[in-house]
Amino acid sequence: NNWPSNTSPICVKSGIKCSSDGSVIELNLQNFGLDGILPTEFFEWRSTQNATFPTVPLSDLRKLHIHEQNLAGVVSTSIGVFTSLTSLIIWTEREGSISALPSELGLLSQLKFLSLGSSSFIGDIPVEIGNLSSLRKLDIT
């Protein structure tokens, strides 16, 4: 576990960067040694109140990086609520381990960088990604 105890403030935990008002603006889970199924609740974290995903302000989240992990699961349609995201990286080391990408990715209007490990996903890339008018770099290698 790379994070200090659950009693420590969220903004001092490894991989988390907060603004001056305490809102989480970056969540970087690169090389955290995560293994298993990515819980659907992860993408609903902004409203979840449980021990696994504590309630923290995520409405200002700008960077979400989940990569170099051994995860499987679903990218929830709830990802569309993170409308402040400017950078999103999702890929795992398990080939074909994440089911189809949701069309709600097209709601991330501030997104400038999107990296999706193509071997991690099953299915097509949603056409709604074409709605991302701020997108400057798309990496699907």
Q: Could you read off the pLDDT of 7-33 as tens digits, one per residue?
A: 456 777 788 888 888 788 998 877 776
Query: What's the average model confidence in pLDDT over 98-121?
Result: 84
Long-range contacts of 131-137 (CB under 8 A, 24+ apart): 131/106, 131/107, 132/105, 132/106, 132/108, 133/109, 134/86, 134/109, 134/110, 135/111, 136/112, 137/112, 137/113
pLDDT for 100 equals: 74
Please give the model's pTM, rounded to 2 decimal places. Answer: 0.78
Residue 113's pLDDT is what? 96
